[in-house]
Structure 1
């Protein structure tokens, strides 16, 4: 299914309509098209501020949020590119910390499409080219860029000399794209995922990673060695533990940092990866104080986010309402760790191409009820995919209204697309 987003701005919507009219390049892999587009635009990717480039299955968005918050706490001007957007397409590009304006977004999309429409670009290639134009034309001290799918063939993978590369937690997701048969690639699924993510490693740019099983570790080591890139792996070159605080260590010394305010025990490890990236590069200086402030102040919506009072949560009565866009087994495990020992009502909507049991399985012993909803505008798993003891509802609002008055918290999960609809309905649009 095509998902080209929509906008309340007529100027932006005109360009999104042009995107939607393009044929989707099924089965096309490689960077040739994005390289050609950028060449026609004067190769803006070569003129952006020092870039922190992050890949991974889970945690890469949170790692980017910590990087941005730490850099801004140092008083630096930071551009960011993250994906997907939750409510507004503009969320994908921030200029100096602010969502790109409708006027500038429409202008850049038009410029990219005018110069590249004959190349048959994808949604992501056009968006990425517009992002590079914005970052090159607006001065800043640094930029933080999140990959989309994989890394090797991701449209962002054209940055010649990142200040640092980060690879977050690895897991199995997007199998049709990342595990497609290809000669010369690893047979082991997680090693293949590592092979794809390690494609963003660049000559001379430091690489910071989490720790992984042996096969995945070997693929990242091979990629770093082939590129001549300094490799810094957790548990070997840096480490972090977190109980009441984060105790971080590397060859530079030790840091004691606060725990994140973002919910979930895994967030301390994402924050530590961001710290490692900053401490193993020399293009942007960030103090330990700014790192601590950034960890405490980072925000990342729809990742174990407790929703505020609003039109949607009012339907739930006097109970906590949590939102998470996680949709793969590793995300399910992280969510389960946060709610361990608690009873929970689950409202779930998942795309049909995802593992229907990924979120339910690790939470099963805690679930008081499971309510299934469709993800608006997308092919979703039906109620029967989640087991017999479930109920189906047309909308999240209907599911919330039907919950018993027992005060048990509720989690809405299964899809970032669904999360965006929830945030919009509760008047918590990211800004």
Structure 2
């Protein structure tokens, strides 16, 4: 049985442990979870899956429930600066010590069952939350839904934000295949909320087969923007003149609408006032989602790394920064649709600076040169030895009226925020 005194020791060991970084299938994690938690008791649970918007939905839920005074646990991934960000209680990352204790408990019951890095983290979060006297736990699905370790817990409400093509190696190459995987978080007679305006037929089919209580955006609930604020409605339930969501972009109205319905569906167990909904919508914060740093030249950060997320980013910069020259510091993982992302972005980007990442999954310079050569983008700069170098070059070519845009990967945004923290 392994034991480490530091969180970093545990994480380094976990990374080396399991032959597959992603090993989909619930049986192993479920078995360890039963050993950790034989009575099966859990806090009320909302599970959130989807291609984009998961982090935003968890952030709204967390902000609204905390505004109401509830004790909230939130599990998300990946982290941006520190692993602890993945497991938060009342808005604060838990301590190294708490996570190490959870890892020790998992290790003491695991026997010869092999677990991936992600499964260790998920089990630790669930174990910490179970012992922390929470009013509610919010769980973000890492990948897909059906076979993701988070799905060992039966949610009281399941929410799917959006469905588009990402992670094709694991989830399939079509929205139909991906929709089927995401819908794996649905349960019988349990509210299943879908914030994608055009859900694939496969998702509707799984909901029907499971006899989930399905609510679809645009059909069973929706929103309407007004001159001041916006209105939310679901059947005869409505809220009027709500403040604009604190996270920016049109898609945030869809995310916020889905969240308000989830809260309404949980109201018998956890009542929430309209005042708390308003406060949460306004106060919500999330690193790396259209995050603006007001420096001499403003810096906009976004973790968008698939075509749907990047279309949203284009709409946002066009609306929020009209007429500005945009200098993009850019990097992506090699298994993503890099060419698709560049095609969508290039009409709004003045010049590009490729920032190589120290990550085995990241696209390296030769691959990036090849993809850019075949794209419509021009003014592309290479030859930098990391984020700082690329960012300095982009800043050098900028004027005060321009915008520096750092986007394309969680790891890149992490490098950028780490640099600003050092200052």
What is the TM-score with the length of structure 2 in the denominator? 0.90
Contact persistence 1:327–1:358 (CA under 8 A) = no
Mapped pair 1:227 → 2:210: yes
Give the corresponding residue for 1:70: 64
Give the corresponding residue for 2:281: 295
Contact persistence 2:191–2:213 (CA under 8 A) = yes
Q: Aligned with 1:207: secondary structure?
A: strand
Separation in 2, partners of 1:297, 1:73: 9
Residues 117 and 352 of structure 1, relative CA distance in 2, 3 Å threshold: farther
Separation in 1, partners of 2:80, 2:53: 16
Report how far residue 48 of structure 1 moved.
Answer: 2.1
Contact persistence 1:81–1:94 (CA under 8 A) = yes
Give the corresponding residue for 1:246: 230
Mapped pair 1:159 → 2:153: yes
Give the corresponding residue for 2:257: 272
Report how far residue 224 of structure 1 moved.
Answer: 1.9
Give the corresponding residue for 2:95: 101
Mapped pair 1:196 → 2:181: yes
Report how far residue 93 of structure 1 moved.
Answer: 0.6
Give the corresponding residue for 2:385: 394
**CA offsets, 1:335-384, max 9 Å, x none?**
00001144311110111111113432222222111111112223324241
Task: Choose the corresponding residue for 1:357, options 331, 339, 343.
Answer: 339
Residues 359 and 307 of structure 1, relative CA distance in 2, 3 Å threshold: farther
**CA offsets, 1:224-273, max 9 Å, x none?**
22222211111111011335422111124221211122222222221111
Task: Choose the corresponding residue for 2:269, options 279, 283, 288.
Answer: 283
Contact persistence 1:71–1:78 (CA under 8 A) = yes
Report how far residue 308 of structure 1 moved.
Answer: 4.9
Give the corresponding residue for 2:300: 322
Task: Choose the corresponding residue for 2:19, options 18, 24, 39.
Answer: 24
Aligned length: 401
Separation in 2, partners of 1:22, 1:421: 26
Separation in 2, partners of 1:428, 1:58: 29
Contact persistence 1:77–1:97 (CA under 8 A) = no
- RMSD, matched Cα: 2.0
Q: Aligned with 1:427: secondary structure?
A: helix
**Unpaired segments of 5 or more residues in structure 2?**
none
Report how far residue 285 of structure 1 moved.
Answer: 1.1
Separation in 2, partners of 1:255, 1:64: 20
Give the corresponding residue for 1:41: 36
Report how far residue 320 of structure 1 moved.
Answer: 0.8
**Unpaired segments of 5 or more residues in structure 1?**
1-8, 181-188, 310-317
